Amino acid sequence: MEFNWQGIITSALTVGVITYAINSTSHSVEKGHLKYGLFIKGLGIVCLICFLGPLWVYLTDIYQVNKPGEATALIGLTIGFGFFAICTIGEGFFVKGNYDESSINFSTPWTGSKASNWRDLESVKFNILCCWYVLQFKDGNTMRISSYLSGNGYLLDFLREKGHDF
């Protein structure tokens, strides 16, 4: 039986980089502010470049498709990286929030802007699958605070001080 050392090393490095990114961002901005750091923004730009490369190759016909499946792979790469570019650029550059002792304001390109008072906070739950904290308020607002957001550690400390257990 042959071991796939490349896969093991790649997996270990991926887990290490993601763990480092989460731990280094939790307390990396000023208290009261939530935003993504360079990791997610950089990932979005890399995805955009990886989207534009295959798209340019496909549209300009500079690469001759000689084997079956090459055109499908090129189209698949273009669609996949395009989707991830939209998601990561949308998250990295347009998700932000602010909070103080009385309220929180949070804005995303997907759900718009939301504002709620802390006295209306009903529950805080961690979604392990998506790696975010779900804040549910009495007025129906639901805010999802990603573990990758810079400043989320200060927010979690603040919520623990307010008596929320999650």
**Torsion, Cα of 95, 101, 102, 107 (10° steps):** 0
The CA distance from 102 to 72, in Å, is 53
Tokens 């200060």 belong to which residue? 154
Q: What is the pLDDT of residues 88-132, one digit of tens each?
A: 999 999 999 999 999 999 999 999 999 999 999 999 999 999 989
Nearest by Cα to 126 from 95, 165, 92: 165
When pLDDT is cut at 50, 70 and 90, the band that residue 67 belongs to is confident
Q: What is the largest CA-CA distance in the chain?
A: 64
The pTM (predicted TM-score) of the whole model is 0.76
- Reading phi first (left if > 0) and then psi (alpha if -120 to 50, else beta), residue 102 is in alpha
Q: What is the pLDDT of residues 39-54, one digit of tens each?
A: 889 999 999 999 998 8
